[in-house]
């Protein structure tokens, strides 16, 4: 005797989300540091400015430069002119400039911007519909 199996098929609609509000707050933090090039900083192929040579906006000497996070960036100004990003490397110990074409007494400004203070919150919850399931026998 043959086996007879029932056949059941079902279709469903996709749930739909409507409404909802997301609020994003961006709170950048920018710090500035200032140094003056001296003859000992200019090497054979690069100019290295140690962290201890910088002062902050309050004219206080700093011990270390900030470590950059994934969303951070920095700008370097030499003698008031913005430099290409590829010409400098920043670490907590120093700022290295890919040039020796500087003379003692030239001012260097370092500007570090951090966007680590970004937060997003759902301020109004969305309405999500239940799927419609249809069974056909």
Residue 133 lies in a domain: no
* pLDDT score for 123: 83
Q: Is residue 137 predicted with pLDDT exceeding 80? A: no
Residue 81 lies in a domain: yes
- Tally Cβ neighbours within 10 Å of residue 109: 17
Residue 39 lies in a domain: yes
Number of structural domains (the chain) is 1
Residue 108 lies in a domain: yes
**Contact partners, residue 59, CB within 8 Å, separation at least 6:** none
What are the distances in angstroms from CA 35 to CA 63, 91, 100, 108? 13, 15, 16, 5
Residue 8 lies in a domain: no
Q: Which domain holds residue 108?
A: 25-117
What mean pLDDT is reported for the chain? 92
Helix %, strand %, coil % of the chain (to 5): 5, 45, 45
Query: Nearest to residue 106, comparing CAs of 33, 32, 36, 34?
Result: 36
Residue 136 lies in a domain: no
pLDDT band at residue 12 using 50, 70 and 90 as cut-offs: confident
Q: Is residue 18 predicted with pLDDT exceeding 90? A: no
Residue 125 lies in a domain: no
Q: Environment class of residue 35 by beta-carbon count within 10 Å: exposed (0-12), middle (13-18) or buried (19+)?
A: buried
Task: Please write the tens of the pLDDT for every residue from 44-79.
Answer: 999 999 999 999 999 999 999 999 988 899 999 999
* pLDDT score for 42: 96
Residue 11 lies in a domain: no
CA-atom Rg of the chain in angstroms: 29
Q: What share of the chain in percent tops pLDDT 70?
A: 99
């Amino acid at each position: 005797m043959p086996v007879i199996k029932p056949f059941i098929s079902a279709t469903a609609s996709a749930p739909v989300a409507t409404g909802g509000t997301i609020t994003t707050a961006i709170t950048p933090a920018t710090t500035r540091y200032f140094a003056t090039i001296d003859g000992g900083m200019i090497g054979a192929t690069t100019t290295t400015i140690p962290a201890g040579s910088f002062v902050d906006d309050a004219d206080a000497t700093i011990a270390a430069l900030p470590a950059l996070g994934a969303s951070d960036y920095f700008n370097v100004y030499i003698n008031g002119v913005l430099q290409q990003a590829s010409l400098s490397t920043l670490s907590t110990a120093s700022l290295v400039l890919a040039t020796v074409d500087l003379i003692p007494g030239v001012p260097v400004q370092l500007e570090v911007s951090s966007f680590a203070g970004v937060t997003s919150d759902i301020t109004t919850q969305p309405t999500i519909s239940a799927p419609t399931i249809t069974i056909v026998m």
